[in-house]
Structure 1
Amino acid sequence: MHHLWFLYFTQQYSKMTRRSGRLQAKSENGATHTDKLAKIKKEQCNRKKALTKRLNGETQNRGAQDAVCRTDVLMESPMEGLHEEFDQPGLSQCHQPSPFPRLSWACSEDVWVKMLSKEIKYKHCNHCIEKHPRLQPKMRAVLLDWLIEVSEAYVLHRQTFYLAQDFFDRFMLTQADVDKERLQLIGITALFIASKIEEIYPPKITELAYVTDGACLEEEILQMELIMLKALNWDLYPETIVSWMKLYMQMASAYDFTNVLVPQFSQETYIQITQLLDLCILDINSLGFKYGVLAAAALCHFVSFDIVQKVSGLTWEAVESCVNWMAPFVETMMSYEVAKLKHFNKVSSDDRHNIQTHINYLSMLQEAQQKSSIHMNSIFPTPPSSAEKSSTY
């Protein structure tokens, strides 16, 4: 469940086949489930080829037939106006081929385009705090840091935390003038929703209410859950930063494309990069970048850009500003002890890197922001005051 590839391909392929008709385990003539999948896919291609022949009045060659099959799958997706949206700065990925290997059980191009389409559908903005005059960016950082700590305490996965972060930020974008006393309730409710989506055994609502130390009652969490779901329009499946990072790292380190569902990257390196992302996401300015760009920028600080471009389809112009913005955070993180894998009871060794962990992020954030401020002042010096100006003449 917690492997990005298995989850995403299975979800997307299931949606595609449900639109074509529900599959049954066995047919009356004894055909297997796999045979029926192959039959439906063949029928889809045949329908599209027949339509193309009627329109063009000529027989398609084999290369065109393969393109027809891919187009047939893509036509089932709600992609109207997608390519126009991708022409925006930082979304040049759509002009690159899918980094996925060719798969016999799914269309890699279709999955790639759907992942990119979520970067448009699930909007976030670093100016969302301006809609709440009584809130400060630091309050958001404190809340997310606490949610990371809660996630580790209940052995929740990184994807669970990043889903909660996305739900929180997108919800705040739909609201106005939220009081700071409501932040903890919104945050724990976001984690409650995310854990029910991602975890096999999510924490009970009584446990999540308990960690708020009486600040949030169970009834309040349930009521806020309905409010959030309605405000988010039940759009609960974004491509998070960590899911993009897993994709990039898997493709960068994959050496056996026959078994692409098994992680092949170094757990230690993955921990370092994810802790960098944890630190960055506490800064509200991180929301000024697309999730895929944030993940690519983080990877740029650990591998060459040629590799990043190959696995992400992004140009240097698309990630340059994010790489530069992230530099003080990298410098700060490197000055601390090297991140290590933590041991969790009942968690297998090959899944430990997927568990969300917590370190002293708030102190690191303060240092990184100070370095960032110094860096920006060196680029854009503060103009002299009026008194200083008059004394120079």
Structure 2
Amino acid sequence: MSRRSVRLQKRSENSPRQRGKVTKQSNRKKIQPLSKLQCEKNQLVLEGVAKHPVLIETVEKGVGGDCDAVPPSTDSLVRPSPLPHLGWGSPEDVWLKMVGREQNYRHSKSFMQKHPTIQPRMRSILLDWLIEVSEAYTLHRQTFYLAQDYFDRFMLTQDNIEKSMLQLIGITCLFIASKMEEACPPKLSQMAYVTAGTYFEEEILQMELIILKALSWNLCPETAVSWLKLYFQVGSMNADSDLLKPQFPQDAYVQMTRLLDLCILNINSLDFEYRVLAASVLGHFIQQETAEKVSGLSRDAVKLCVDWMAPFVESVNWFGRAPLKDFARIKEEDRHDIQTHTHYMSMLEVSQKEENSQFLTPPNSTEKTCTH
């Protein structure tokens, strides 16, 4: 057990556990519980929780991963490292380790087949709500993407999860991710608060142990946003720059992350590796040759993902540019790293219409040929 977990356990033992109790802060917007965001059309009901959720002891092969393991060499691994010279390590070793994580931490949309009562849109609504919670608590983008990865991999290890469990699993994944990424993670009581009293603090702690065990404590993936940030950094830095210090324009990065956020809410994004997803996003904002150079991925390697992403690009363009927001107690140079929320569910609907129009739009009358 980590030192944070020990402190959390001691704090929870020494303080009375009250349902959904937390002190409100004036600079945080009020978050609606997920159960309030449902509508009859979606038929998503996330109220109540099973008191004794079932944990499947075994983990699917390739789901958990190992932070330090490197898989056997493949074509994608032997490509030259696109990383520049590093004063603190070998760029080849760093690249090999990063790609090795990508190969070991497996995700797949096939988990939907294991849970008959869960629909893809339910995942979208849950992740959209987690983004909203992340902004309310000024959590970093990496924190949300860790939570998304934990959720998808956990669902892949389970069978027949009821839809009433989704919000508990989601907020617990965010709780774990915040302890991994944040210097000052939200308290357990704050996580319970955003569920509007739907869950006890004890239920979140219980689910935390279930998720950690199912994932075999493998909590260090290279997320889609970490790949995107690396690519954009390498593409923006000059010869004298330090890879660890951001060199890219914040406004452009925010536009990229909004597109990535929108894509990750769609279940079909799990068809692609995170690094391919990030490279495809980058390719819509900079020259394709540069995107290939900084990602180490050829045009053919990302073509399928780039084509799939086209309706999402049209959707974000239709909604205009994303603002670069300011946050209290967040330095100006770090504000681009804070996860922000926007009308993602509306964007998803627009992107779906754009996708359908590619197949359903009939040809113009002038294009029709006459055979008589």
Which aligned runs of 4 or more in structure 1 are off by greater than 4 angstroms? 376-379
Q: Distance in 1 between matches of 2:158 and 2:201?
A: 22
Q: Distance in 1 between matches of 2:238 and 2:93?
A: 23
Q: Alpha-carbon deviations, 1:90-111, whole Å to 9, x = none?
A: xx3x232112222232111111
The 1:220–1:376 alpha-carbon spacing in structure 2 relative to 1, beyond 3 Å, is farther
Q: Does 1:261 align with 2:209?
A: no
Work out which of the residue numbers 332, 353, 365 in structure 1 matches 2:348: 365
Q: Distance in 2 between matches of 1:261 and 1:195?
A: 21
Q: Distance in 2 between matches of 1:366 and 1:127?
A: 22
Q: Which residue of 2 aligns with 1:297?
A: 280
> Structure 1 stretches of 5 or more lacking a match?
1-76, 380-393
Q: Does 1:122 align with 2:105?
A: yes
Work out which of the residue numbers 262, 278, 292 in structure 1 matches 2:261: 278
The 1:180–1:338 alpha-carbon spacing in structure 2 relative to 1, beyond 3 Å, is same
* Residue type at the aligned position of 1:291: Y
The 1:366–1:296 alpha-carbon spacing in structure 2 relative to 1, beyond 3 Å, is same
Q: Secondary structure at the match of 2:109?
A: coil
Give 1:279 shift: 0.5
TM-score w.r.t. the length of structure 2 is: 0.77
Asked whether the 8 Å contact 2:241–2:247 carries over to 1, the reply is no
Q: Distance in 1 between matches of 2:248 and 2:225?
A: 14
Q: Which residue of 1 aligns with 2:291?
A: 308
The 1:319–1:376 alpha-carbon spacing in structure 2 relative to 1, beyond 3 Å, is farther
Work out which of the residue numbers 60, 69, 72 in structure 2 matches 1:82: 72
Q: Alpha-carbon deviations, 1:65-112, whole Å to 9, x = none?
A: xxxxxxxxxxxx743x521xx34xxxx3x2321122222321111110
The 1:275–1:114 alpha-carbon spacing in structure 2 relative to 1, beyond 3 Å, is same
Give 1:304 shift: 1.2
Q: Distance in 2 between matches of 1:267 and 1:376?
A: 36
Q: Alpha-carbon deviations, 1:270-291, whole Å to 9, x = none?
A: 0000000010111000000000
Q: Which residue of 1 aligns with 2:42?
A: none
Q: Distance in 2 between matches of 1:160 and 1:104?
A: 27
Q: Distance in 2 between matches of 1:105 and 1:255?
A: 17
RMSD (CA atoms): 1.4
Q: Which residue of 2 aligns with 1:18?
A: none
Q: Alpha-carbon deviations, 1:191-238, whole Å to 9, x = none?
A: 000000000000000000010011111000000000000000111000
Instruction: Calculate percent identity across the aligned residue pairs.
Output: 56
Give 1:375 shift: 2.3
Q: Distance in 1 between matches of 2:198 and 2:72?
A: 43
Give 1:258 shift: 4.2
Q: Distance in 1 between matches of 2:358 and 2:112?
A: 24
Q: Distance in 1 between matches of 2:347 and 2:241?
A: 41
Q: Alpha-carbon deviations, 1:290-317, whole Å to 9, x = none?
A: 0000000001111111101100111111
Q: Distance in 2 between matches of 1:321 and 1:113?
A: 24
Q: Which residue of 2 aligns with 1:164?
A: 147
Give 1:376 shift: 4.7
Q: Does 1:199 align with 2:182?
A: yes
Q: Which residue of 2 aligns with 1:173?
A: 156
> Structure 2 stretches of 5 or more lacking a match?
1-67, 363-372
Q: Alpha-carbon deviations, 1:241-292, whole Å to 9, x = none?
A: 1100011000111114342221111101100000000101110000000000
Work out which of the residue numbers 194, 218, 224 in structure 1 matches 2:207: 224
The 1:377–1:293 alpha-carbon spacing in structure 2 relative to 1, beyond 3 Å, is farther
Q: Which residue of 2 aligns with 1:356?
A: 339
Q: Secondary structure at the match of 2:221?
A: coil
Give 1:170 shift: 0.3
Q: Secondary structure at the match of 1:235?
A: coil
TM-score w.r.t. the length of structure 1 is: 0.73
Give 1:378 shift: 6.7
Q: Distance in 2 between matches of 1:286 and 1:376?
A: 20
Q: Relative contact order (C-alpha < 8 Å, sep 6+): which is higher?
A: 2
Q: Which residue of 2 aligns with 1:26?
A: none
* Aligned positions, number: 295
Give 1:128 shift: 1.4
Q: Which residue of 1 aligns with 2:231?
A: 248
Q: Which residue of 1 aligns with 2:14?
A: none
The 1:376–1:320 alpha-carbon spacing in structure 2 relative to 1, beyond 3 Å, is farther
Q: How does 1:63-74 map to 2 (within 5 A)?
A: none
Q: Does 1:238 align with 2:238?
A: no
* Residue type at the aligned position of 2:145: Y
